[in-house]
Chains A and B, each alone.
Chain A
Amino acid sequence: MDAVTYPNLKVIDFLQNKLVPLQLGSNAEPYASDYGVKWTPNLLIIDAEGKVYHRAVGFIPPLEFIPWLLLGMGKASFEKDNFTEALECFERVITEYSFSNSAPEAIYFRGVSQYKSTHQPDGLKKAYQLLQERYTGSEWAKRAYPYWLLP
């Protein structure tokens, strides 16, 4: 990550402006034990209370990294019932980083966020349709499968 991803100018800009970037050694106790760190790099999105919302183990290249961060920020906002901010994050992943590994999960959670904020099933049905069209066979297309039954 230090050699390839973190020197990327877009990554620097994103980390400095959208998040608080914290780097700890895997020997930094009690934090490494508290977060169950067994291997590095161990990458997490946490809130101001230290709660974990998104996690990855292993290298993430620059083109995948920003959508991965956006997905994590969206999931954190979703968990906090801040659906407006969550939807902004998921929308960016879907429109700006449709090639990324994070896009199918962003489509799924955009649909869920739309449902949670409107109580209308349209978002869930659209998520199912889009995942079937663009990411058929993906884990998230399978998870959305029951939504095709919605009225």
Chain B
Amino acid sequence: MPDKVQWVLDYKESLAKAKSEGKFVFLDFFNPQ
């Protein structure tokens, strides 16, 4: 198991991954500053 969350950083890539794996997406909008 990874020792930290391995985030997808591209919106379209995450939707494609969700579709292929039959999962939902957890989307975290964070403050980049």
A residues neighboring B (CB under 8 Å): 1-2, 6-7, 9, 11-13, 15-16, 18-28, 31-32, 35, 37, 40-50, 53, 69, 72-73, 76
In the complex, the answer to whether B11 meets A49 with C-beta atoms within 8 Å is no
Which residues of A are found within 8 Å of B29, using beta-carbon distances?
24-26, 28, 31-32, 35, 37, 40-44
- Nearest chain A residue, comparing its CB with the CB of B32: A25
In the complex, the answer to whether A12 meets B1 with C-beta atoms within 8 Å is yes
User: Which residues of B, 1-33, contact A by the 8 Å Cβ criterion?
Assistant: 1-9, 11, 14-19, 21, 23-32
In the complex, the answer to whether A6 meets B30 with C-beta atoms within 8 Å is no
Measured between C-beta atoms, what is the minimum distance from A122 to chain B in Å? Answer: 29
Compute how far the CA of A27 lies from the CA of B9 in the bound complex, rounded to whole angstroms: 13
Interface SS of chain B: helix, strand, loop or mixed? mixed
Compute how far the CA of A11 lies from the CA of B11 in the bound complex, rounded to whole angstroms: 21
Which residues of A are found within 8 Å of B30, using beta-carbon distances?
1-2, 23-26, 40-41
Subset of 8 A-B contacts with CB under 8 Å: A6-B5, A22-B8, A26-B30, A37-B29, A41-B30, A42-B28, A48-B16, A49-B15
- Nearest chain B residue, comparing its CB with the CB of A57: B29
Which residues of B are found within 8 Å of A11, using beta-carbon distances?
5
A16-B6, A49-B15 known; A24-B24 Cβ under 8 A: no
List 10 tightest A-B contacts by C-beta distance, closest first.
A25-B32, A48-B19, A22-B14, A42-B29, A23-B7, A48-B18, A40-B31, A19-B26, A44-B27, A20-B18
